[in-house]
Structure 1
Amino acid sequence: MHLVLFGATGLVGSSALQAMIRRPDVTKVTCISRKPVPMADGHSKVEIAIHDDFMTYDEPLLSKIKGATGVVWALGTSQNSVSKDISYGVSNVKHYSVYVKITRDYTLAAAQAFAKQAAAEPAGSNFVFVSGEGATHSPGMLTPIFGRCKGETELKLLDLAQASQSRMRTYVVRPGGVDPSQQPEILPFLPKMEVYKTPLLAVMRIVMKGMHSPTKPLGEFLVALAAGDKGGAALQGEGVENDGWVVTNRGFRAQMGLAGTRQRRLGKTVFRKAISLQYNVSSDQIIVNCQIAAEGGAVVKDKPCDLQS
């Protein structure tokens, strides 16, 4: 099986590459990258295709991914790492930023190129987009740029998949707090970012498991989708949205059998407590939200709360 990976030198990409290397049924991995990928050294099944312009894909490059079963798109950046020029409006938002180019335009250019390849494959192909919690398809006036930009990208990818008549099946995965601490084998290859050591990740591991994204199972999940382990079909279950093609962090944890949902039974009614985070870009604060829902989905409490409520 041949898989393609974008963003192999980043946090999520490193976990996906490790999962690809470890799977015996994955016989070829093509990493499309701007720079060398040290983790790939010594692994004969991994090929690095150095590529500088992620808006264009010429025939020599496309020939390297011909016949691929799936793609994991883990290329991305933080909205705080690049310049932004945003104009807010009541009904629309115009983006003119490096962040939007990387997040939306690069992704769509690659997906469009891959869709053409998928059309020629007998079984079609899978495209897995690593989005993030906070992405929304219905942004408001105060929705941060990452939430509206990733949400817009998700919708365009899903439209592209529909237009391909299921030749390119698109899965969107929204990780929460990505934590590599339990996967020491990838740590030497990660960028030197202090966010990996933030106390918030420690809190998530213990108290807010529903927002915690450990890299090892996350990488395995992304690769499973790209490899077609789910049969190329829409997913079902907790935390799965948009007819089975968008997987929230709670959905990822449920699919991988990770704990994270606490249940309480009162009489014959089961109540589920979920904790989520919302970043307020104007105040630079993280708001903890608590939702308690009765079995069947009726929300009985949904408001900001402390970690003990």
Structure 2
Amino acid sequence: MKIILTGATGLVGAECVRLALNNPQITEVVALARKPVTVPDGASRSKLRSVVVEDLSQEYSEDVKEQLSGAHACIWNLAITPSKARALPANDVSKVCLDYTMTGIKTMASVASTEVPFRFVYTSGALSERDPSKSLWLNPEYRKMRGEVENRLLDYAVDTAGKVEVQVTKPGLIDHAGRFAAARTLLSATGLSNINVSELAAAELNQALGGFDKDTLMTTDLVRIGREALWNS
């Protein structure tokens, strides 16, 4: 199986790369990023192909399309986090979160394997809001923008009449090496539950490989699936 991974230099993306490289079901891992991706510690080097695209909102070159061709699935972990988004213009945040994602899925679907439906796992967030009319007290513009991405992806999958399947994962706070301790105030204010980065990456990889339980997975779903996948690995 050939899988495409984005956001491979980030927290969740790097863990997805590590697990994918060590998974015997996967024959090739294509890490699509704006800069070269290196092999994480403890992972096999032989299956990794790093593909660099500086502007992922523009049409991909024929060379890049060729390197993506024949893929069976993608796990999309590329986005601007809420904390970083506050320091950037809204248009720049939307370009990365929305334009990059929609250009990516459409391009990948056009060159994907036709053996099975192309599976696209999109990492969003527990607070993303799909209803644009809803009144929100915390970071409303960002949350609705991420919800719009979810809506567009799910609608796109419907429009392909089964050729593309989309799953949205909506984790709460992602715990890794003590990072969660610094976010306890946020947790208490929002009621978010946490998930370990390895559990999240394992859950997403499990769904990309075996098919989707449902089109949206919340933290409790992800923890359950991720723990089971790690236990069986």
Using the size of structure 2 for normalisation, the TM-score is 0.84
CA distance in 2, matches of 1:77, 1:160: 22
CA RMSD of aligned residues (A): 2.6
CA contact (8 A) 2:174 2:180 kept: no
Provide structure 2 residue ranges, at least 5 long, that are not aligned to the other structure: 229-233
Return the alpha-carbon distance in structure 2 between the equivalents of residues 197 and 115 of structure 1. Answer: 36
Query: 1:22 deviation in Å?
Result: 1.6
Change beyond 3 A, Cα 1:105–1:13: same
CA gap of 1:201–1:31, structure 2 versus 1, over 3 A, is farther
Structure 1 residues 31 and 71, CA, compared in 2 at 3 Å: closer, same or farther? same
* 1:116 pairs with 2:110: yes
Which of the pair has the greater relative contact order for Cα pairs under 8 Å at 6+ separation? 2
Residue 117 of structure 1, CA deviation: 2.3
- 2:217 is matched with 247
SS at match of 1:5: strand
Distance 1:135 1:197, change over 3 A: closer
Distance 1:141 1:212 in 2: 24
Q: Residues 121-200 of structure 1: matches in 2 within 5 Å?
A: 121-139=114-132, 140-142=134-136, 144=139, 145-181=141-177, 196=179, 198-200=181-183
Q: 1:224 to 1:70 in 2, by over 3 A?
A: same
Counterpart of 1:59 in structure 2 is 62
Cα 1:210–1:149 change in 2 (3 A) is closer
Q: What is the Cα deviation at residue 201 of structure 1?
A: 5.6
Return the match for 2:93 from 99, 103, 111.
Answer: 99
| Counterpart in the other structure of 2:51 | 49
Q: 1:167 to 1:60 in 2, by over 3 A?
A: same
SS in 1 for 2:39: helix
1:270 corresponds to? none
Gaps of 5+ in 1: 86-95, 182-194, 236-243, 259-309
Q: For residue 253 of structure 1, what is the amino acid of its counterpart?
A: V
CA contact (8 A) 1:4 1:72 kept: yes
Q: Return the alpha-carbon distance in structure 2 between the equivalents of residues 24 and 36 of structure 1.
A: 24
Distance in 2 separating the partners of 1:5 and 1:61: 14
d(CA) in 1 for partners of 2:70, 2:49? 15
Q: Deviations over 1:263-299 (max 9, x none)?
A: xxxxxxxxxxxxxxxxxxxxxxxxxxxxxxxxxxxxx
SS of 1:103's equivalent in the other structure is: helix
Please say if residues 174 and 249 of structure 1, whose CA atoms lie closer than 8 Å, have aligned partners that are also in contact: yes
Which deviates more from structure 2 when the two are superposed, residues 36-45 or residues 212-221?
Answer: 36-45
Query: Which amino acid in 2 is paired with 1:245?
Result: D
CA contact (8 A) 2:128 2:143 kept: yes
Match of 1:89 in 2: none
Indicate yes or no: 2:27 matched with 1:27.
yes
Give the number of equivalent residue pairs: 219
Distance in 1 between residues matched to 2:76 and 2:96, nearest whole Å: 12
Q: CA deviation at 1:217?
A: 1.6
Superposed counterparts of 1:193-208, under 5 Å? 196=179, 198-200=181-183
Larger helix share, 1 or 2: 2
